[in-house]
Amino acid sequence: MNTEQPATTDKVGSIAWAVFFIWAGIALLANVPWGWFLLGVGIITLMAQIARWLLNMNVEIFWAACGGVLLAGGLWTLLNLPWPLVPVLLILLGAVLLGRTIGFTR
């Protein structure tokens, strides 16, 4: 059931962007390492989609995927794992988006 209201949609997006900018400012001031920054942005992005879901709004699959990739990238960096997971995930995400845009996939 979709009870999405334009004002509610705008609020969720505005709150998410506001929290992102606050996090970016804190991260810059505190010289937060790259892995923690990515982890924070991934959490913010996923929380915005969870809020949309809880408010019976359409979850934006693109942003949910971006949040997942950012979260994975942050964890991957913090755990200092040797394989290049994030670049591979970004390439796969881009390929899927490109394929959907030009009609290769649904």
Domain containing residue 38? 6-102
Q: What percent of the chain has pLDDT over 90?
A: 55
Give the Å distances, CA to CA, from 93 to 15, 19, 38, 80.
25, 25, 17, 22
The answer to whether residue 1 is domain-embedded is no
The count of structural domains within the chain is: 1
Task: Quick: pLDDT tens for 55-94.
Answer: 999 999 889 988 998 998 899 889 988 777 777 877 888 8
Q: Count Cα neighbours of 85 within 13 Å in the Cβ-side half-sphere.
A: 15
- Does pTM top 0.85 for this prediction? no
Is position 83 within any domain? yes
Domain annotation covers residue 24: yes
Tell whether the model's pLDDT for residue 53 goes beyond 70.
Answer: yes
